Amino acid sequence: MYKKGIGYDEARSKLIGLLGNDSQIMLRNAQNGDEVRLSKTSIGKMLSNAAVQKSINNGFTREQHYAVASDIDNLFVNSIKILEYTDKNGDPNLFIHRYAAILYFSDAIAYITVRETKLIKHKYVGKRIYSTEIIEIKKFEGILNVVKKNLLANIPAPNFYDENIQKISNAAI
Protein backbone atom coordinates (compact mmCIF):
# COMPACT_ATOMS: atom_id res chain seq x y z
CA MET A 1 0.00 0.00 0.00
CA TYR A 2 2.76 2.48 0.89
CA LYS A 3 4.74 2.05 -2.32
CA LYS A 4 1.75 2.51 -4.64
CA GLY A 5 0.01 5.08 -2.45
CA ILE A 6 -3.61 6.19 -2.18
CA GLY A 7 -5.60 9.34 -2.88
CA TYR A 8 -6.46 12.16 -0.49
CA ASP A 9 -10.16 11.23 -0.21
CA GLU A 10 -9.39 7.60 0.62
CA ALA A 11 -6.79 8.60 3.23
CA ARG A 12 -9.07 11.16 4.87
CA SER A 13 -12.01 8.76 4.89
CA LYS A 14 -9.93 6.03 6.54
CA LEU A 15 -8.63 8.42 9.20
CA ILE A 16 -12.03 9.96 9.97
CA GLY A 17 -13.40 6.41 10.23
CA LEU A 18 -10.84 5.64 12.94
CA LEU A 19 -12.16 8.46 15.10
CA GLY A 20 -15.72 7.19 15.36
CA ASN A 21 -18.37 9.19 17.19
CA ASP A 22 -15.94 10.68 19.73
CA SER A 23 -14.01 12.53 17.01
CA GLN A 24 -10.78 11.37 18.63
CA ILE A 25 -9.03 8.19 19.70
CA MET A 26 -6.07 7.37 21.89
CA LEU A 27 -3.18 5.33 20.50
CA ARG A 28 -0.69 3.49 22.72
CA ASN A 29 2.89 2.88 21.61
CA ALA A 30 3.85 -0.78 22.05
CA GLN A 31 7.49 0.02 22.85
CA ASN A 32 7.12 2.49 25.71
CA GLY A 33 3.39 2.75 26.47
CA ASP A 34 3.12 6.43 25.47
CA GLU A 35 -0.49 7.39 24.79
CA VAL A 36 -1.27 10.01 22.18
CA ARG A 37 -4.48 11.51 20.88
CA LEU A 38 -5.46 11.33 17.23
CA SER A 39 -8.10 13.94 16.34
CA LYS A 40 -9.50 15.85 13.38
CA THR A 41 -6.81 18.47 13.99
CA SER A 42 -4.14 15.76 13.75
CA ILE A 43 -5.66 14.49 10.52
CA GLY A 44 -5.70 17.99 9.07
CA LYS A 45 -2.02 18.48 9.92
CA MET A 46 -0.96 15.12 8.48
CA LEU A 47 -2.84 15.64 5.22
CA SER A 48 -1.90 19.31 4.82
CA ASN A 49 0.06 20.54 1.83
CA ALA A 50 2.96 21.45 4.15
CA ALA A 51 3.24 17.88 5.47
CA VAL A 52 2.84 16.39 1.99
CA GLN A 53 5.51 18.73 0.64
CA LYS A 54 8.04 17.43 3.18
CA SER A 55 7.57 13.89 1.88
CA ILE A 56 7.74 15.13 -1.74
CA ASN A 57 10.97 17.01 -0.95
CA ASN A 58 12.32 13.72 0.41
CA GLY A 59 11.69 11.99 -2.94
CA PHE A 60 8.29 10.40 -2.32
CA THR A 61 4.91 10.98 -3.94
CA ARG A 62 1.82 12.71 -2.62
CA GLU A 63 -0.03 9.36 -2.83
CA GLN A 64 2.67 7.61 -0.80
CA HIS A 65 2.41 10.31 1.86
CA TYR A 66 -1.37 9.87 2.03
CA ALA A 67 -0.97 6.07 2.36
CA VAL A 68 1.46 6.47 5.27
CA ALA A 69 -0.66 9.11 6.99
CA SER A 70 -3.77 6.94 6.63
CA ASP A 71 -2.03 4.13 8.52
CA ILE A 72 -0.81 6.32 11.40
CA ASP A 73 -2.61 4.19 13.96
CA ASN A 74 -0.56 1.10 13.08
CA LEU A 75 2.62 3.01 12.43
CA PHE A 76 2.58 4.88 15.74
CA VAL A 77 1.73 1.78 17.76
CA ASN A 78 4.72 -0.02 16.23
CA SER A 79 7.13 2.91 16.07
CA ILE A 80 10.25 3.50 18.11
CA LYS A 81 10.82 6.75 20.03
CA ILE A 82 14.09 8.30 18.94
CA LEU A 83 14.15 11.87 20.21
CA GLU A 84 12.43 14.36 22.50
CA TYR A 85 13.12 18.02 23.19
CA THR A 86 11.49 21.27 24.27
CA ASP A 87 9.79 23.48 21.72
CA LYS A 88 12.18 25.35 19.40
CA ASN A 89 10.72 28.68 20.57
CA GLY A 90 11.70 27.92 24.15
CA ASP A 91 8.19 27.41 25.54
CA PRO A 92 8.78 25.13 28.56
CA ASN A 93 5.20 23.87 28.33
CA LEU A 94 5.60 22.41 24.83
CA PHE A 95 7.60 19.28 24.07
CA ILE A 96 8.28 17.51 20.80
CA HIS A 97 8.63 13.73 20.62
CA ARG A 98 9.89 12.02 17.46
CA TYR A 99 9.16 8.44 16.51
CA ALA A 100 10.21 6.34 13.53
CA ALA A 101 8.55 3.33 11.91
CA ILE A 102 10.03 1.22 9.11
CA LEU A 103 7.95 1.25 5.92
CA TYR A 104 9.75 -1.62 4.11
CA PHE A 105 10.01 0.10 0.74
CA SER A 106 12.76 2.33 -0.67
CA ASP A 107 14.63 2.12 2.67
CA ALA A 108 12.04 4.55 4.02
CA ILE A 109 10.67 5.36 7.44
CA ALA A 110 7.65 7.22 8.69
CA TYR A 111 9.02 10.08 10.80
CA ILE A 112 6.22 10.82 13.26
CA THR A 113 5.99 14.01 15.30
CA VAL A 114 4.07 14.05 18.59
CA ARG A 115 3.47 17.36 20.33
CA GLU A 116 2.98 17.46 24.10
CA THR A 117 1.36 20.38 25.88
CA LYS A 118 1.80 20.73 29.65
CA LEU A 119 -0.32 23.81 30.48
CA ILE A 120 -4.09 24.01 30.89
CA LYS A 121 -4.27 27.36 29.07
CA HIS A 122 -3.75 25.44 25.83
CA LYS A 123 -6.76 23.73 24.25
CA TYR A 124 -5.43 20.23 24.86
CA VAL A 125 -3.11 19.04 27.61
CA GLY A 126 -1.21 15.88 26.78
CA LYS A 127 0.37 14.26 23.74
CA ARG A 128 -1.15 14.33 20.29
CA ILE A 129 -0.12 13.20 16.84
CA TYR A 130 1.10 16.33 15.14
CA SER A 131 2.45 15.21 11.78
CA THR A 132 4.27 12.60 9.78
CA GLU A 133 6.53 12.52 6.77
CA ILE A 134 8.34 9.89 4.75
CA ILE A 135 12.10 10.02 4.73
CA GLU A 136 14.91 7.75 3.50
CA ILE A 137 16.87 6.16 6.32
CA LYS A 138 20.19 7.61 5.05
CA LYS A 139 18.81 11.16 4.96
CA PHE A 140 17.23 10.54 8.36
CA GLU A 141 20.60 9.61 9.85
CA GLY A 142 22.13 12.80 8.44
CA ILE A 143 19.30 14.90 9.89
CA LEU A 144 19.83 13.30 13.29
CA ASN A 145 23.50 14.24 13.25
CA VAL A 146 22.62 17.88 12.52
CA VAL A 147 19.86 17.85 15.14
CA LYS A 148 22.23 16.43 17.75
CA LYS A 149 24.77 19.16 17.03
CA ASN A 150 22.24 21.98 17.16
CA LEU A 151 20.17 20.78 20.09
CA LEU A 152 22.93 19.64 22.42
CA ALA A 153 23.66 23.31 23.05
CA ASN A 154 20.11 23.80 24.40
CA ILE A 155 19.24 23.50 28.07
CA PRO A 156 17.74 21.13 28.91
CA ALA A 157 19.43 18.91 26.40
CA PRO A 158 17.24 16.69 24.26
CA ASN A 159 16.96 13.03 25.08
CA PHE A 160 18.23 10.75 22.32
CA TYR A 161 17.38 7.11 22.22
CA ASP A 162 20.59 5.95 20.53
CA GLU A 163 19.81 2.24 20.84
CA ASN A 164 16.42 2.86 19.20
CA ILE A 165 18.05 4.85 16.40
CA GLN A 166 20.36 1.86 15.87
CA LYS A 167 17.35 -0.50 15.74
CA ILE A 168 15.73 1.63 13.03
CA SER A 169 18.98 1.80 11.05
CA ASN A 170 19.55 -1.95 11.29
CA ALA A 171 15.95 -2.79 10.35
CA ALA A 172 16.15 -0.63 7.25
CA ILE A 173 19.25 -2.41 5.97
Asked if residue 39 is part of any domain, the answer here is: yes
Asked if residue 1 is part of any domain, the answer here is: no
Asked if residue 31 is part of any domain, the answer here is: yes
Considering its fold, how many domains does the chain have in total?
Answer: 1
Asked if residue 2 is part of any domain, the answer here is: no
Asked if residue 33 is part of any domain, the answer here is: yes
Looking at residue 145, its pLDDT comes to 60
Mean pLDDT of 65-82: 94
Asked if residue 23 is part of any domain, the answer here is: yes
pLDDT of residue 103 exceeding 70: yes
Q: Which residue has the higher pLDDT, 137 or 156?
A: 137
Asked if residue 3 is part of any domain, the answer here is: no
- pTM for the predicted model, two decimal places: 0.82
Range of the domain at 64: 8-172
Phi, psi values for residue 116, rounded to 5°: -115, 130
Name which of 121, 110, 118, 13 is nearest 55 in CA terms: 110
pLDDT of residue 141 exceeding 90: no
Contact 38, 19 (CB under 8 A): yes
Name which of 34, 33, 16 is nearest 114 in CA terms: 34
Neighbours of 89 (CB within 10 A): 6
| Residue % of the chain over a pLDDT of 90 | 52
